[in-house]
Amino acid sequence: MKIRDRATFATSAIRSQPVRSTLTALGIGVGIAAVVLLLSLGAGLQRFVLNEFTQFGTNLLSVTPGRKTTFGMSGAMINAVRPLSLEDADAIAALPQVERVCPVVMGNVAVEGGGHTRRVMATCVGASMPDVWRFSVASGRFLPAGEERRARPLAVLGDKLWRELYGERSPLGEVVRVGGDRYRVIGVMEPKGQFLGVDLDDAIYVPVARGLELFDREGLMEVDVTFRAGASSDAVTAAVRRTLVARHGDDDCTITAQQQMLDVLGSVLSVLTFAVAALGGISLLVGGVGILTIMTIALGERTGEIGLLRALGATRAQVRWLFLGEAAALSVIGGVAGLALGGGAAFLLHVLVPALPVAVTPWHALLAVGVSLAIGLGAGVLPAVRAARLDPIEALRAE
């Protein structure tokens, strides 16, 4: 029997029971839709998170005071911690693999300028910040190097802060008040967006030594370190740790390598994606059982037809293929519908939440059709083999 004729036969059987066929195909369709939606979401989420972290580069590590016992839990709450000083930052900068260091202090301040006042994040950093954070100046210049200790009161505005205070006017040379002190504006940063919920554009950038005074702090909140491409993240982490232990007499800082963070995030996301796909897999299994059930019922209803086909000269193999083809067709129809459903839902989500990049790839389409075909064939095997085994005279007598 030719493929075309098998297809005609299968579709005529499927169409003759529209409600039952629709429900059965729907079982597969829902499973495929879930898998496609969740996989595309997972892939989108993964890309989203990776972009968020790699925007600062991967040859990056950060040093914070206090020991973190586990990811995110700070022991600094419990123990008195030796502060992380500008001298510590200098010592790290002297390491051979290290390219640049950027000491950081942050805090909330009111900024007055251009006749407006705005509460923003004061980001107090070293002159190397644009390189370390990959964040460049749009106009004017950034804070000058060589003034870490005795810093002049100079400030660089984030893109949003500038627009809020001065509209479209150039702020260069203007004076802003930060926490009661006067700072001269020497530059404006390019827009950069948010990082983990902190708006880097709604911020003022001032020298770190000023920040220590401004917030009356003994030490830095963080030292960001970039190292040469090719140097291993682990080796640099170890070198930084040795330096700090030598200076503090104790291992009292936390060093987080960007690479390590990415690895952890990556594996968390993979596990999540996998779990979600497994859930979809279970609904596919249920769909497969649905097809098995319906084909078994069809076998009972069409026993006479099988007897007739055998009488007309159909071989056992031909009967087996008819049933297998019908199960596969039912499943693939469901799979294609599910792909449309899942892809549509993913697209809708993308329209509603543009920040979340969902990606339906051709690979998903291939997967949906392939998986549903496999399920259909798998679920159809048993009824098909039973149909082929029927004794033709028994089958004809069943009428």
Binding region for ligand ADP (CB under 6 A): 393-394
| List 193, 300, 304, 370, residue binding other proteins (CB under 8 A) | 304
Q: Which residues contact 90 (CB under 8 A, 6 or more apart)?
A: 101
Whole-number Å distance between alpha carbons of 14 and 20: 9
Between 218 and 394, name the residue whose CB sits nearer to ligand ADP: 394
Kindly tell me which of 82 and 310 has the beta carbon lying closer to other proteins: 310
Q: Is residue 315 a contact point for other proteins (CB under 8 A)?
A: yes
Q: Which stretch binds other proteins (CB under 8 A): 129-137, 195-203, 233-241, 299-307?
A: 299-307
What, of other proteins, ligand ADP, none, does residue 354 touch, CB below 5 to 8 Å by kind?
none
The span from the CA of 154 to the CA of 175, in Å, is 9
Q: Which two tokens stand for residue 53?
A: 């972290």
Shorter beta-carbon distance to ligand ADP: residue 285 or 398: 398
Q: Within a 10 A sphere around the Cβ of 364, how many other Cβ atoms?
A: 21
Minimum separation from the CB atom of position 356 to other proteins (A): 47
2 in contact with other proteins (CB under 8 A):
yes
Question: Nearest 5°: phi and psi at 173?
Answer: 90, -15
Interaction of residue 340 with other proteins, rule CB under 8 A: no
- For CA atoms 300, 303, 309, 314, give the dihedral sign: positive
Each as own residue / partner, the long-range contacts of residues 293-298 (CB below 8 Å, 24 or more positions apart, any chain) are 294/20, 294/21, 294/24, 294/330, 295/323, 295/326, 295/327, 295/379, 295/380, 295/383, 295/384, 296/382, 296/383, 296/386, 298/13, 298/323, 298/326, 298/383
Judged by CB under 8 A, does residue 393 bind other proteins? yes
Tokens 């798998």 sit at which residue? 378
The partner in contact with residue 314, picked from ligand ADP, other proteins, none with C-beta cut-offs of 5 to 8 angstroms by kind, is other proteins
Q: How many residues does the chain have?
A: 399
Q: Applying CB under 8 A, which of residues 146, 313, 354, 362 lies at the interface with other proteins?
A: 313
Binding-site partner at residue 396 among other proteins, ligand ADP, none, CB < 5 to 8 Å by type? other proteins
**Contact call for residue 179 and other proteins (CB under 8 A):** no
Q: Is 399 in the site for other proteins (CB under 8 A)?
A: yes
Q: How far apart are CA 248 and CA 259, in angstroms?
A: 26
Q: Which does 5 bind (CB under 5 to 8 A by kind): ligand ADP, other proteins, none?
A: other proteins
| Rounded (5°) CA angle 72-75-78 | 140
Residue 312 CB, nearest approach to other proteins (Å) = 5
Nearest distance, CB of residue 270 and other proteins, angstroms: 48
Q: Concatenate the DSSP letters of all residues of 196-219 into one string.
A: TTEESSSEEEEEHHHHHHHTT-SS
- Using the rule CB under 8 A, is 13 a contact of other proteins? yes
Contact between 314 and other proteins by CB under 8 A: the answer reads yes
12 near other proteins (CB under 8 A): yes
Please tell me the distance from the alpha carbon of residue 60 to that of residue 223, in angstroms, as a whole number.
11
- Using the contact rule CB under 8 A, the part of the chain among 8-16, 50-58, 139-147, 243-251 near other proteins is 8-16
Distance from C-alpha of 124 to C-alpha of 207, rounded to nearest angstrom: 5
Residue from 198, 286, 317, 348 binding other proteins (CB under 8 A): 317
Residues in touch with other proteins (CB under 8 A) = 1-2, 5, 8-9, 12-13, 15-16, 304-305, 307-318, 392-393, 396, 399
